[in-house]
Amino acid sequence: MGQYGACYPESVCARLRCVATRKKGKGAGRTVRIAPGPVTLKELAERLGLSPATVSLVMNRSPVADSIPQETKDRVFAAAKKFKYRPSFFARSLRAQRSFTVGVIVPEVSDGYSASVMSGLEDHLLQEGYFYFVVSHRHRADLIDEYPRLFLERSVDGLIAVDTPWTLMLSVPVVTVSGHNQVKGVTNIVLDHVRAAEVALKHLWQLGHREIAFIKGQEFSSDTEVRWANIEKAARQLGLPISSALISQLKGDSPSPELGYEATRKLLASHRPFTALFAFNDISAMGAIRALREAKLRVPDDVSVVGFDDIQSAAYQNPALTTVRQPLREMGRIAGETLLRRIRHPGADAGGGEIMVEPRLMVRETTCRVSNSVHPPK
């Protein structure tokens, strides 16, 4: 703002940030250096020898910028960082008519499953200049119904639901991770559960295990029904009988190993022999190992244990956990990519659909071959 409230041109204002001259008093006529502030878009473009439009497209990650060479984009981002240039969020939102925010709904923020998915999701959203809000519903039906409305009131561009039952058709794109309901406009990122059941049971079968106990997931978990159906299918294909006495189910919504601990104690209380245990997830497998040890059973010498998910701590348990790896971080990244693609191109994938990812068996230290000298649990 100049004398009498007149506005200087932007280029003049930029120069005034760097140099000022005293007009009166002590030191009159002396040039005073002022610390430079962030450069303007025009100044940044001039330094790079590019047009302001090109720099704007790159900085705002416009789809049109896909045609700009990567080397040029790298130069723009490097110069923006060096000269502290930041595009105006509000100007960007007005131009694109988007808020550049998404909503993320999870059952529990702190559990290993959600944290791993969110890690991959966050990497992609931040890279693309998006911000996200995350809420946890703790399996409360009222919150699952309420949160989407609250997100829409805050003008999010889209939603991602992780391990959350989903039946809503919304005005914005929706992507689910481990969602199995077919809803118009919703894209599901799912694991190949057929393959997951096959690799886990075949591994135990090849080690000689025929009496296998199972810990099923909670009734409210999105994966429980589909995973159990495929375990039964894989068992039939192997000719492996499943005894109802060797099936226990997780109860409660705590992300603690305590649930697996209690489920395993019930299995042990049945006095039905088993030489292996296939748990619903890694957290419950950790609780199961504690219960087996308290019963004076060695893992894997007396009972082999297989988990599911391959959360970050699974490889660092003692003994290291054999588990079926879900590429959780990758699933989060795919969810982010899919959602942003649908936001930028509203007509694409409007019908939703499914994206399937492959599991992998991580053989570590909690499984071994059945020994004839092993005494089954009593």
CATH number, domain with residue 174: 3.40.50.2300
Going by pLDDT thresholds of 50, 70 and 90, the confidence category of residue 349 is low
Q: Looking at the structure, do residues 294 and 351 belong to the same domain, yes or no? A: no
| pLDDT for 12 beyond 70 | no
Which domain, by its residues, includes 300? 193-326
Q: Looking at the structure, do residues 162 and 183 belong to the same domain, yes or no? A: yes
Judged by DSSP in three states, 136 sits in strand
Going by pLDDT thresholds of 50, 70 and 90, the confidence category of residue 97 is low
| pLDDT for 4 beyond 80 | no
| pLDDT for 209 beyond 50 | yes
Say how far apart CA 232 and CA 197 lie, in whole Å: 9
**Of 339, 349, 335, 353, which is closest to residue 182 (Cα–Cα)?**
353
167: CB partners within 8 A, 6+ apart = 181, 183
| pLDDT for 273 beyond 90 | yes
* 368 is a domain residue: no
Would you state the pLDDT for residue 160? 97
Give the residue, 6 or 149, on which the prediction is more confident.
149
Q: Looking at the structure, do residues 201 and 230 belong to the same domain, yes or no? A: yes
Would you state the pLDDT for residue 307? 98
* 181 is a domain residue: yes
Say how far apart CA 314 and CA 326 lie, in whole Å: 12
Say how far apart CA 57 and CA 77 lie, in whole Å: 12
Percent of the chain with pLDDT over 90: 63
Q: Looking at the structure, do residues 242 and 298 belong to the same domain, yes or no? A: yes
| pLDDT for 336 beyond 70 | yes
**DSSP strand pairing (131-136 vs 276-278):** unpaired
| pLDDT for 263 beyond 90 | yes
Would you state the pLDDT for residue 18? 40
Phi and psi at 372, nearest 5°, equal -65, -20
Among the residue ranges 6-15, 129-138, 306-315, 327-336, the one predicted with the least confidence is 6-15
Would you state the pLDDT for residue 67? 85
Last residue of a domain, one of 281, 310, 326: 326
Q: Looking at the structure, do residues 316 and 210 belong to the same domain, yes or no? A: yes
Q: Looking at the structure, do residues 242 and 322 belong to the same domain, yes or no? A: yes
Digit-coded pLDDT (tens) for 113-145 = 899 999 999 999 988 888 899 999 998 999 999
Q: Looking at the structure, do residues 78 and 121 belong to the same domain, yes or no? A: no
Among the residue ranges 82-96, 161-175, 190-204, 283-297, the one predicted with the least confidence is 82-96
Instruction: Report, as an integer, the average pLDDT of 45-68.
Output: 83
Would you state the pLDDT for residue 89? 55
* 114 is a domain residue: yes
Last residue of a domain, one of 51, 78, 97: 97
Q: How many CB atoms lie within 10 A of CB 337?
A: 17
Say how far apart CA 300 and CA 55 lie, in whole Å: 59
Say how far apart CA 134 and CA 159 lie, in whole Å: 10
Q: Looking at the structure, do residues 67 and 6 belong to the same domain, yes or no? A: no
Give the residue, 90 or 318, on which the prediction is more confident.
318
* 370 is a domain residue: no
Phi and psi at 6, nearest 5°, equal -75, 145
* 378 is a domain residue: no
Q: Which two tokens stand for residue 69?
A: 């060479």
Going by pLDDT thresholds of 50, 70 and 90, the confidence category of residue 5 is very low
Instruction: Report, as an integer, the average pLDDT of 257-268.
Output: 98
* 214 is a domain residue: yes
Would you state the pLDDT for residue 92? 57
| pLDDT for 20 beyond 50 | no
Going by pLDDT thresholds of 50, 70 and 90, the confidence category of residue 372 is low
Going by pLDDT thresholds of 50, 70 and 90, the confidence category of residue 31 is very low
| pTM to 2 decimal places | 0.74
Per DSSP, 158 falls in state E
Would you state the pLDDT for residue 80? 87
* 371 is a domain residue: no
Instruction: Report, as an integer, the average pLDDT of 156-171.
Output: 94
Number of folded domains in the chain? Answer: 4
Residues in the chain: 378
Q: Looking at the structure, do residues 345 and 335 belong to the same domain, yes or no? A: yes
Q: Looking at the structure, do residues 77 and 145 belong to the same domain, yes or no? A: no
Digit-coded pLDDT (tens) for 237-246 = 999 999 999 9
* 377 is a domain residue: no
Q: Looking at the structure, do residues 241 and 299 belong to the same domain, yes or no? A: yes
| pLDDT for 24 beyond 50 | no
Q: Looking at the structure, do residues 146 and 118 belong to the same domain, yes or no? A: yes
Which CATH number does the domain housing residue 79 bear? 1.10.260.40
